[in-house]
Amino acid sequence: MAVSYFTVEGLNKIKDELHELRTKGIKEVADQIAEARDKGDLSENAEYDAAKDAQGLLMLKISKLEELIANSRILDESNIDTSKVAVLSKVKIKNMANNAVIEYMLVSEEEADLKKGKISVKSPIGHGLLGKKVGDTADIIVPAGKIKFEILEINR
Could you read off the pLDDT of 103-124 as tens digits, one per residue?
A: 999 988 888 899 999 999 889 9
Residue 105 near residue 4, CB atoms below 8 Å: no
Domain residue ranges in the chain: 4-74, 77-155
Gap between the Cα atoms of 146 and 156, Å rounded: 27
pLDDT band at residue 136, thresholds of 50, 70 and 90? Answer: very high
Q: What is the pLDDT of residues 69-88, one digit of tens each?
A: 998 888 776 666 778 998 88
The predicted structure's pLDDT at residue 1: 60
pLDDT at 101 over 70: yes
Question: How many CB atoms are located within 10 Å of the residue 78 CB?
Answer: 6
Closest among 65, 66, 62, 50 to 25, alpha carbons compared: 62
Helix (H, G, I), strand (E, B) or coil at 97: coil
Fold matches, 4-74 and 77-155:
no
The predicted structure's pLDDT at residue 96: 92
Residue 94 burial by Cβ neighbours in a 10 Å radius (0-12, 13-18, 19+): middle
The predicted structure's pLDDT at residue 77: 67
pLDDT band at residue 46, thresholds of 50, 70 and 90? Answer: confident
CATH of domain 4-74: 1.10.287.180
The predicted structure's pLDDT at residue 94: 95
Q: Which CATH class is domain 77-155?
A: alpha beta
pLDDT at 34 over 70: yes
